[in-house]
Chains A and B, each alone.
Chain A
Amino acid sequence: MPDAKPLIQVKNLNLYFGNFHALKNVSVDFHAGELVGLVGDNGAGKTTLIRVLCGIHKPTDGEVYFDGKLVKEFHPKLAIDQGIETIQQSVGLCDNLSIARNFYLGREPVRKVLGIPLLDFAKMRGEATKVIRAFGLRDNVSADDEVERLSGGERQSVKIGRAVEFKNRVVIMDEPTNHLSVREREHVNELALQLRNQGLLVIYITHDIFQVHKLADRIVIMENGEKIEDASTDKMSAEALEEVIRQGGRVVEKMES
């Protein structure tokens, strides 16, 4: 059972990009020990919402509470320090750096030599190698190879492996199974459940309602920057939720015409 007190509480959040109203008065709670599916069509605002939660975007107005405290400054560094790990869709890896360097980007382990903080390459290589082997990357890929050489699935594996390795309190997955084979996809979904069972909050973004309905405790549906549904999966079937997404789309079409 999730805690009664939400770990992340979003209240009346609005975000504008110039004149574009990307998030419209969104309010939603997330609890520890909960796997929440965040669903909606392309451009619904799912990614924008989680980019606020992980500190990339600063909301125009509205409030975000983490662990009961109002969040005043938004920066990925602060989110990561608070224990929010995010697997982003299009960003997160630098092609020009090795897997080991990417793995620890922003939180590099150092050991002091004559007072100079030098990268702890042994640790960086060791941990990164463990993870890429666990995730079944090709045998000829080493932790010293640049990310440039990896396939789409391998990149995704590195990002997921990194998030799981550093997991703390929240893991946000943005379309984590894109580019993955059937077996890899099952592995990722299993990991998401494991993390939830360990008491973490997992937010799982996808537009495949059927896939996430099997995993999630609760589904939040977004449409055009608004939250249009928030229901637990034992109360609403995947078919019913899919209908909501379809309806949401039609309402918008009418408004536009």
Chain B
Amino acid sequence: MSLAALKPIIRKHSEIGIFLVAVFLVLFFVATSEGRWNNAYNISTILQVTATLGLMTLGVALVIGTGEIDISVGSTFGMAALIYLFLAVRVDPAMAAFAAVAAGAAIGAFNGLLVTRTGTPSLIVTLGSLMIFRGLAIALTSGFAFSVPYKDRGALSYFILGGDNLFRIGTFPGVNTGFLWLIAGLVILSIALKLMPFGNHLLAAGGSAASAHSRGVRVDRVKLRAFIICGVLAGLAGVLEAGKLGSADGSMGRMMELQATASCVLGGCLLAGGRISLVGALMGTFVLSSIQSYLVVRAIPPQWFIVLLGLIVVLAALGDRKLRQWALKR
């Protein structure tokens, strides 16, 4: 098979770049960590991190698909975690989760309405809500952490919402139930995006809002829906993370908006909108979590993670552009 035969495949599948990166990194980690990276326990941890960051990433990818961006998800995640933990012990974990996810939806609606009704760029709007809800979280907790004592976490709801040790087999410690939520989210959103009119409208709005509008697509509603779904997913991710850790403070989810956005970019989502890959974005999340864990097992100070993250995003974006330009040439 000649290289030229690969062109249509690369053109259609923007996530190929991140798969190549992932394969290379995994081989590199396996080769250089002397088994400290590639063991069952560590893989399980990586999947755990991938689960919550991944849910958030799916939502961000949808918003990017409409040509907008949502960088408020880190705060939404934190707010949802705090609401969940606050209500779980006082009311009921299931009700608490519902309230937290509803709060996520409300923040998404707040962003979406401001963007579509006022025409303010989504970067500005969500930068504002990032600060508003982060500030609220810190102010309301006044530096204290909310938690649910381990002995109180017996109910089934706690297991469903971020419980550990699912599929525990032999030495494999099992995965967090959050991972199932991620798979469910991926399947549902992939169907909606690829097989339903919803996805056609969403990608049309991101590809050319004017053309979509002229064909009768209600672009504002499409965008609003994407923001709400994004808020819901960030909220759900916050609940699952809180459920897993059992405690949270005002800084919960800090910087996660950057990781989610980076995952999307790495995964082949075009920031200008209209072209996204949900699988690619999750692969991006996996790559980021893997790098983070590699630094941990190699005992490299974690502050280097953000430096490395930045470098990888720039390199991946450049490489991806070159690859696509090549694939688009006739």
Which residues in A have some Cβ–Cβ distance to B below 8 Å?
Answer: 54, 56, 75-81, 86, 88, 90-97, 101, 104-108, 110, 116-119, 148
Contacts and interface: CB of A to CB of B under 8 A. Distances in A.
A251 to B, nearest CB: 33
Contacts of A54: 214
B213 A76 contact: yes
B313 to A, nearest CB: 23
A209 to B, nearest CB: 26
B22 interface: no
Interface stretch (B44-52, B132-140, B193-201): B193-201
Contacts, number: 83
9 contacts: A77-B218, A92-B211, A92-B215, A95-B274, A97-B204, A117-B196, A118-B191, A119-B196, A148-B328
Contacts of A101: 200, 204
B79 interface: no
Contact of A96 (B196, B201, B215, B275): B275
Contacts of B196: 110, 116-119
A96 B216 contact: no
Contacts of A88: 214
Contacts of B200: 97, 101, 104-105, 108, 119
Contacts of B328: 148
Interface string B94-108: 000000000000000
Given A117-B196, A117-B197, A119-B197, A105 B212 contact: yes
B203 A76 contact: no
A99 to B, nearest CB: 13
A108 B196 CA distance: 9
B203 A93 contact: no
A90 B211 CA distance: 8
A93 B213 CA distance: 10
Interface of B: 191, 195-197, 200-201, 203-204, 206-208, 210-218, 274-275, 328
Contacts of A81: 216
Contact of B216 (A77, A90, A117): A77
A56 B214 CA distance: 6
Interface of A, secondary structure class, is: loop
A95 B216 contact: no
B136 to A, nearest CB: 37
B286 to A, nearest CB: 26
A94 B197 contact: no
Nearest to A105: B215
A120 to B, nearest CB: 10
Contacts of B211: 91-94, 105
Given A81-B216, A97-B203, 5 more contacts: A76-B213, A105-B200, A110-B197, A117-B196, A118-B195
Contacts of B275: 96
Contacts of B191: 116, 118
A119 B215 contact: no
A56 B213 contact: yes
B164 to A, nearest CB: 33
Contact of A94 (B195, B208, B216): B208
Nearest to A54: B214
A79 B208 CA distance: 20
B226 to A, nearest CB: 16
B216 A91 contact: no
